[in-house]
Structure 1
Amino acid sequence: MFLSDPALGILMLVLFIVFLMLGFPIAFTLMALGVGFGYVTRGDTVFQLFVQRTYSVMANDVLISIPLFLFMGYVVERANILDRLFRSIQLAAGWVPGSLAVATLITCAMFATATGIVGAVVTLMGLLAFPAMLRAGYDTRLAAGVVCAGGCLGILIPPSVMLILYGATAGVSVVKLYAAAFLPGLMLAGLYTAYVIIIAMIFPSRAPKLPPQERAGSVFEVAWALATSFFPLAVLISAVLGAIVFGLATPSEAAAVGALGAVLLALAYRSFSVDKMKESVFLTARASAMVCWLFVGSAVFSAVFALLGGQQVVENFVLSLNLSPVGFLLLTQAIIFVLGWPLEWTEIIVIFLPIFLPLLDNFGIDPIFFGVLVGLNLQTSFLSPPVAMAPFYLKGVAPKHVTIDQIFAGVMPFLAIVILSMALLYLFPEIALWLPSALYG
């Protein structure tokens, strides 16, 4: 053998990046490289390792909640509950400057707590809220930025699927992660909303007020709209999150109740059918299978990478830089920011984060805090050009006269707000750590 084991480990990582750029399926590429390099260096024992890692992934109780939360989200999406929600919030926010944009952000934040499916939220709001803002005379760039940024909130706001995957990868409590991500998620949504209101006040032409005929005629109309559309979904989401955060149920148990509640809510609105149920089940199975195979591939790849000493090479290199904790955080977040251009957040979480996680103890960084910071950072992977997925989702459903350049220009201020949020979290870690500390000690 011409190369040492650590050199083979680094070669394996480099080959994965090359195959990734060539468009090979990620999960099966990970498995093939892991088994191939493992067989060359360790012989038949790699097959035992493959079986053990596959079983440990499939037996992970934390991952059971993923298909249940996905099913809950797909049911809410397919049952057209979002239309009712947007209309009720629009009526309630009619007096606020930039009311349509504010209603869009609040709807996105609400829908984010029902589903972490970014593409679905951006697409649905692109069909529902984006044309409404354009008809009302909103600046195209502002309207596009609102839809794209609001649609990405589901990555961070609980019950985020990303946090479940991070918890399973890092071996930390998903319950504490949910508690830690709650205030940063509200902070980001609040900063988005504040920005829109300020723009509407300074430049009224970019976000005109709604004409009187499109506002609520009375307080009773607003109350009825909220009672029939906003509060039922809010109660369902609050019950699911409350049961998790206050320790009344595990994430899997709460997700099961949430899935059942979403079906009952859809039936109550008479907007569900057998065909929509089949679609929701199929989409849930497809997304869950992708996540599970990705997790298996990552587990095999990471195990062989560590056995070859590749992990130790990375750790020694980072430690040789003599970074401070802040320097380490800046380095890791910069790498994650760049990885967000070609990769989905799932690949970043299960493939590249395990390389950084063992180093957290060396720098005295709380893995809960690190996970929330990663969740904020991953907002940028969906917003930052040139491979930002949220603008492309919106472009797919936007009117033909709306260009991708206009959408990219619209998301840039919101990208700056995400970076501001990360800076605030750096400066005031209590934003993430106070609630889990207060609840769990």
Structure 2
Amino acid sequence: MLDLIPLLLFLAVCLVLMLGFPVAFTLGGTALAAALIGSQSGHFDGAFLEAIPNRLFGIMTNETLIAVPLFVFMGVMLERSRVAENLLDTMADLFGPLRGGLGISVTLVGMLLAASTGIVGATVVTMGLLSLPTMLKRGYAPSLACGTICASGTLGQIIPPSIILVLLGDVLSSAYQQAQLDQGIWSPETVSVGDLFAGALLPGLLLVALYVGYLLFISLVKPDLMPNLSNDERSSRREGLLKRVVLVLLPPLLLIFAVLGSIIGGLATPTEAASVGAVGAMLLALSQRQLTLQRLQEVMRSTTIVTSMVFMIFIGASVFSLVFRGFGGDEVVERLLTGLPGGTFGAVLVVMIIMFLLGFVLDFIEITFVVVPIVGPILLAMGLDPVWLGVMIALNLQTSFLTPPFGFALFYLRGVAPKSVTTGAIYRGVAPFIVIQLIAMGVIAYWPQIATWLPDTIYG
């Protein structure tokens, strides 16, 4: 019976979340209510609650997490400075002669925006407003156009600098240290955000290549779904193309290189690099004549809202994880995972399936802060590479934005798509890209060096 209490606590949280209550207060409130009931019945050790002040103080003084508001600021500033609009226009002109070139352009712009903004909602909405009407006007199938935009917009989850990778780096570091303590050993080694950034770079590019490969395949097999530009349109767009490509692509690429290069090269911490990115985003907006006092206030307001949401969820999840451990939930999960057939492979497979299914109803932040601290120490104690595990989790969480019925990317696009585009068309459009992401996860699971080679090479 006692083994069922942690499971019931987790199910209660999922139920309250599905009723529409705020995530942060659901996590903390449900956990504290369960702790109160458990302490009255003698099933909960109240000493676990004494660790809450230390946990909260640790969150507020964590220097790595300062990168979160800075990266959010950088992303919102770039989203408001018309970078996406200029990139889409230029890339569409560049790949115009190629059949399916507009779809490929959307994918590549999604990659560049992912590497410079990392904010999925802003990317999906921006590309939905700018490219969806054009794709439909050019004769693209609504489902294919919507799927391409949603999938490209979620690349910000895996391509660094990604906010989810920053959060995962902090959570996995704690899980790694917990795994060592559970084994009776201690080492100052942690999972750095730079490790995860380097580990996620090649898997992110692999995913982009698979997306582009799928679009090229569709353009050959079903060319009527992706009509080509007319000769007149192609010739009219070639004038001054090289100059536009250089002027439009160079500033974002320099910003990406400054942020990522300084982190991966060990020249700056993620927080320092994020501050460079925030200043660079303002300079880029200034060069586009988009930096005004009103716009700066809007960006700061949006940054404050997003940051407050993330940290409140983090605090609520910390309370939940303490109460979960107080009920012996970590021991229950460990027995379940270690008792599965297939050993480590079976445990990883079950965890990935659970995360994938939870992505249908929960946001990636809840899964990161609630599920990863529970299963992370157990999986890492089995000898898994923490960078590989982090990349696999990030790829898996990316599907939470695409999976119907609650995929946030689907909601974002539905909000800006024309009424002629049905919700069913959006759902059908993302299905192949979900399959592609699962294939990418399978490839990285089979060849973990795709995720571990670059950080091993750089950091030894």
TM-score tier (shorter): over 0.9
**Contact 1:425-1:432 at 8 Å conserved across structures:** yes
How many residues are aligned here? Answer: 438
Which residue of 2 is the match for residue 92 of structure 1? 94
More off after superposition, 177-186 vs 272-281:
272-281
Matched, 1:258 2:258: no
Matched, 1:28 2:21: no
Give 1:49 shift.
Answer: 2.4
> What secondary structure does 1:321 align onto?
coil
Give 1:80 shift.
Answer: 1.3
In structure 2, which of residues 141, 144, 153 is the aligned counterpart of residue 142 of structure 1? 144
Matched, 1:380 2:377: no
- In the alignment, the residues of structure 2 paired with residue 379 and residue 307 of structure 1 have an alpha-carbon distance, to the nearest angstrom, of 31
Give 1:362 shift.
Answer: 4.0
Render the CA deviation track for 1:187-206: whole Å, top value 9, x for unaligned. 00111011112211232221
**Contact 2:93-2:238 at 8 Å conserved across structures:** no
Which residue of 1 is the match for residue 108 of structure 2? 106
**Contact 2:139-2:226 at 8 Å conserved across structures:** yes
Which residue of 2 is the match for residue 355 of structure 1? 374
Q: What does 1:310-389 correspond to in 2, within 5 Å?
A: 310-389=329-408
Matched, 1:415 2:434: yes
TM-score, normalised to structure 1, is: 0.95
More off after superposition, 289-298 vs 114-123:
114-123
**Contact 2:198-2:455 at 8 Å conserved across structures:** yes
Matched, 1:116 2:118: yes
Give 1:338 shift.
Answer: 0.5
Which residue of 2 is the match for residue 162 of structure 1? 164
More off after superposition, 39-48 vs 159-168:
39-48
Which residue of 2 is the match for residue 62 of structure 1? 64
One-letter code of the match for 2:424? D
Shift in alpha-carbon separation, 1:203–1:37, aligned structure 2, 3 A: closer
Give 1:38 shift.
Answer: 4.0
User: Unaligned regions of 5+ residues in structure 2, if any?
Assistant: 174-190
Q: What does 1:36-51 correspond to in 2, within 5 Å?
A: 36-39=33-36, 41=39, 48-51=50-53
Render the CA deviation track for 1:121-145: whole Å, top value 9, x for unaligned. 1111011011111111111111111
**Contact 1:158-1:241 at 8 Å conserved across structures:** yes
**Contact 1:200-1:207 at 8 Å conserved across structures:** yes
Which residue of 1 is the match for residue 227 of structure 2? 208
**Contact 1:125-1:147 at 8 Å conserved across structures:** yes
- In the alignment, the residues of structure 1 paired with residue 292 and residue 424 of structure 2 have an alpha-carbon distance, to the nearest angstrom, of 39
**Contact 2:48-2:322 at 8 Å conserved across structures:** no
Give 1:34 shift.
Answer: 3.3
> What secondary structure does 1:152 align onto?
helix
Give 1:276 shift.
Answer: 1.3
- In the alignment, the residues of structure 2 paired with residue 142 and residue 209 of structure 1 have an alpha-carbon distance, to the nearest angstrom, of 15
Give 1:220 shift.
Answer: 6.6
One-letter code of the match for 2:126? L
> What secondary structure does 2:240 align onto?
helix
**Contact 1:216-1:222 at 8 Å conserved across structures:** no
Shift in alpha-carbon separation, 1:357–1:280, aligned structure 2, 3 A: same
**Contact 1:96-1:197 at 8 Å conserved across structures:** no
Shift in alpha-carbon separation, 1:135–1:230, aligned structure 2, 3 A: same
- In the alignment, the residues of structure 1 paired with residue 230 and residue 56 of structure 2 have an alpha-carbon distance, to the nearest angstrom, of 59
Matched, 1:275 2:275: no
More off after superposition, 264-273 vs 314-323:
314-323
Give 1:79 shift.
Answer: 1.2
**Contact 1:126-1:397 at 8 Å conserved across structures:** yes
One-letter code of the match for 2:21? F
**Contact 1:360-1:367 at 8 Å conserved across structures:** no
- In the alignment, the residues of structure 2 paired with residue 361 and residue 374 of structure 1 have an alpha-carbon distance, to the nearest angstrom, of 13
Give 1:215 shift.
Answer: 2.9
**Contact 1:92-1:216 at 8 Å conserved across structures:** no
Give 1:406 shift.
Answer: 1.0
One-letter code of the match for 1:398? A
Render the CA deviation track for 1:26-68: whole Å, top value 9, x for unaligned. 2112222333444553787566422211111111111000000
**Contact 2:45-2:326 at 8 Å conserved across structures:** no
> What secondary structure does 2:319 align onto?
helix
Give 1:216 shift.
Answer: 5.7
Q: What does 1:10-21 correspond to in 2, within 5 Å?
A: 10-21=7-18
One-letter code of the match for 1:248? L
Give 1:163 shift.
Answer: 0.7
One-letter code of the match for 2:450? I
In structure 2, which of residues 326, 332, 355 is the aligned counterpart of residue 307 of structure 1? 326
Which residue of 2 is the match for residue 52 of structure 1? 54
Shift in alpha-carbon separation, 1:309–1:146, aligned structure 2, 3 A: same
Which residue of 2 is the match for residue 230 of structure 1? 249
One-letter code of the match for 2:448? P
One-letter code of the match for 1:377? N
User: Unaligned regions of 5+ residues in structure 1, if any?
Assistant: none
**Contact 1:72-1:258 at 8 Å conserved across structures:** yes
Give 1:170 shift.
Answer: 1.0
> What secondary structure does 1:236 align onto?
helix
